[in-house]
Chain A
Amino acid sequence: MITISKQYQFDFSYPSNSIPEWSTRVDRWYQLDAFSYGLTEGYWRWKNTSTNLVSPDFIILISRTASNASDLAFVESNCTSAHRFAHTLPNVRLAPLLEVMHWKGPTLCLQMSTDYLERALREAYDLPDKYHRKWVITVEPKAWEINGNSVHLFSACFFELLTK
């Protein structure tokens, strides 16, 4: 039997005005894009507010809008910013999170637009029993304006599925 044993949502704006508590664990944390920052900060808050948060055996990252927003940020640098280009792959946003977690293991970055959360949870649900504890993670833009000064709002969601 598999259940969603934990879930956590972190809504955030980016850039952030404060130095994250995990900043010493991530090389050049200030160069992270919104998605990488949000996943790492979200995890940090989840860990600090959740009892018995145990590292997973498998992570699925859902990427509904791929890295579109980060791609655009690279173009806005006249395609010269190396650190912005480095974030133009959706799976890359997991890297600082895993660094902070001191975790390594299997991950899949899946791209789904329709029913993306339901389908990703289904993928996790169907994983073999050897992956006892699965995480499904998503981080998506909620409000964005190109070449503007709007508030950039994002939402990161974490789900833990447990095989009992």
Chain B
Amino acid sequence: MSLSLLGYSASNAAGITVDEFWGALKQGTPLKDPDLHFCPWPVGRNFSTAQERINYHLHKNWESISSDLIDEVRGAGSIGVILATTKGIHEDFIWNATPNSITKDFLSPILSRFIAETQLAVAHSTVVSNACASTHSAIFLADLWIASGKVSHCIILSCDQIGKFVLDGFKSLGALTANYAQPFGKERTGLQLGDGTAIIVLSRPQPGKLNIENISIVTEGTSVTRPAIHGEGLKQACLDVLNNNLIVDLIIAHGTGTILNDRVESLVLGKLFPNKTPITCTKWAIGHTLGASGAMDLVAGAEALIRQDTFSIATTTEPDPSFPNYFLCGSNANSSSDLRRILITSLGFGGINAALTLTMRHQ
């Protein structure tokens, strides 16, 4: 497989633009308001419904895509659109549920509305809900669509909004930290949550564009909320995308900051990369954006390649001493002049493991 990453936008707790996101990663700005456990964006703006909130975010992101790219997409032979999300407009439903609403699909209307309002001539569309690996899974499906000729371009809408339901849920799991998340840190105690929306535009390989070289999803039967203890599925997903080439210049790990997630990732990545390939992650800066988290990591990886620069896990000053890996921690991320290939991993409830490799331009 091979896909060109033609363009992207992202809004999250760090700000409305990709530049603000990159700025937070580089400057080491942690997620604001840790006492709230999550950061809704934009701060202080109220929406009458969760659907309105998501719609607002999607349109702001669409407006951030360059007009040249939008023109290219509009002129494409066939367009696919995939919504990648976990809970979507869930808050609208759950607090006012009725017997009739329980059998209603609340996610597809978000997709339909986006397509109608952007007036895109869409040939294929669907919603992928593969937990926190939803974006990786959507890219996987986009690749299948593009490779089969179903579509020439595919737009991925990645979004998840954090509300009371999700917040209460993660509290019930005991997964939230009382302070800043410290992925892979010695003192890590859990994760923070964050709103996130991103749009990713993909196509058949084009010269001069960033390249999603390979992508893999491996779902395995494990306990519902935790990955396999030895990380077999994650290892398989990584091996699939590495394709016998273990040279990677940077790893953007899922890195939630929970005890178990980080341990499993450390174990698998330590075995695959005994040469201590640098590992970083983004959730310390923007919170865990759930179904959108893979998109945030992809955007961060693309920016790293374009800027030839890396970023550290700023809230983690001391990695877990039992981990064998080399983490970019605190202020030890230095600019790199030779970033060519990045591995991006993602894990989700239900035993989903995903990985992709992002490389520099097609020749």
A residues near B (Cβ < 8 Å) are 27, 36, 59, 63-66, 68-69, 71-72, 74-75, 79-83, 85-114, 119, 123, 126-128, 140-141, 144-146
Contact = CB atoms under 8 A, between A and B. Distances in A.
B141 interface: yes
A43 B221 CA distance: 14
A135 to B, nearest CB: 12
B188 interface: no
Contacts of A80: 168, 172
B137 A104 contact: no
Interface stretch (B94-102, B296-304, B335-343): B94-102
B94 A72 contact: yes
B224 A87 contact: yes
A29 to B, nearest CB: 11
Q: Which of A80, A111, A127 has the most CB of B within 10 A?
A: A111
Contacts, number: 175
Contacts of A69: 102
Interface string B108-144: 1000000000000000001111110000010011001
Contact of A66 (B105, B165, B233, B350): B105
Instruction: Summarize A's interface: helix, strand, loop or mixed.
Output: mixed
B90 interface: yes
B208 interface: no
Contacts of A140: 103
Given A68-B106, A90-B129, 12 more contacts: A82-B172, A91-B349, A92-B349, A94-B351, A105-B218, A108-B140, A108-B217, A109-B129, A112-B126, A144-B99, A144-B103, A145-B99
B249 interface: no
A135 B348 CA distance: 21
Contacts of A141: 102-103
A38 to B, nearest CB: 15
B221 A97 contact: yes
B112 to A, nearest CB: 9
B86 A106 contact: no
B102 A72 contact: yes
B221 A107 contact: no
B308 interface: no
Contacts of A95: 221-224, 350-351
5 contacts: A68-B104, A79-B168, A91-B219, A95-B351, A140-B103
Interface string B213-236: 000111111111100000011001
